[in-house]
Amino acid sequence: MSDLTRVSISLDASLLQAFDRFLEAKGYTNRSEAIRDLIRDRLVRDEQSQGSGTRVAVVSLVYDHHARELAAKLLDKQHAHHDLVMSSMHVHLRERHCLEVTVLRGPLEAVRRLADELIAIRGVLHGEVMVTGDEAVFNRLQPHWTSDPTPTESSSLPSLSPSHSHD
Ligand code: NI
């Protein structure tokens, strides 16, 4: 059973126009879905970057595979922390550079430390880490499967209409 609460918010016309342009550029067909995504994104970023508990991190690294001992160091570090490394994908970008995407899961502190160590390996040209939650977080943010009650909602609507509904 879904439990949807409708809310009404007030926005400056210029802010709403900018938001609608953003939605169109991103391919959203209605505001509700976009706002839900923005709220979840903000909550996940905020919650998952602090505190304790299990986290999942996606670490992407770009490096020159000719860089001395880099590939071996990367592999050594991943084996040393095999309990945190769930999976790794290696893409040979062209003749020289590699993209490696590694998914880590474990306590936040350990996951972040390993991500930082991987990125700091000498010769890594570009590294980025995205921390997200484990399943428990998303079960909380989306306790029930919900379908949008107004799939035809148009971005030309003047505001999000107020009401409250239960399915
Ligand atoms: Ni490669």
Selection from 6-15, 80-89, 143-152 with the highest mean pLDDT: 80-89
CA distances from 40 to 24, 36, 75, 133, 140 (A): 19, 6, 34, 11, 11
State in Å: Cα 124 to ligand 1 middle.
Answer: 13
**Which among 67, 71, 64, 55 is positioned nearest to 115, based on CA atoms?**
55
pLDDT digits (tens, 9 = 90+) for 96-115: 999 999 999 999 999 999 99
State in Å: Cα 107 to ligand 1 middle.
Answer: 29
State in Å: Cα 99 to ligand 1 middle.
Answer: 7
Q: Which domains does the chain have, with CATH numbers?
A: 12-48 (1.10.1220), 54-137 (3.30.70.1150)
- Side chain identity, residue 99: L
Distance CA 85, CA 104 (A): 5
51 with 63: CB under 8 angstroms?
no
State in Å: Cα 101 to ligand 1 middle.
Answer: 12
Q: Band the pLDDT of 157: cuts 50, 70, 90.
A: very low
State in Å: Cα 93 to ligand 1 middle.
Answer: 7
Higher local confidence (pLDDT), 49 or 40: 40
pLDDT digits (tens, 9 = 90+) for 46-58: 887 787 889 999 9
pTM of the model: 0.73
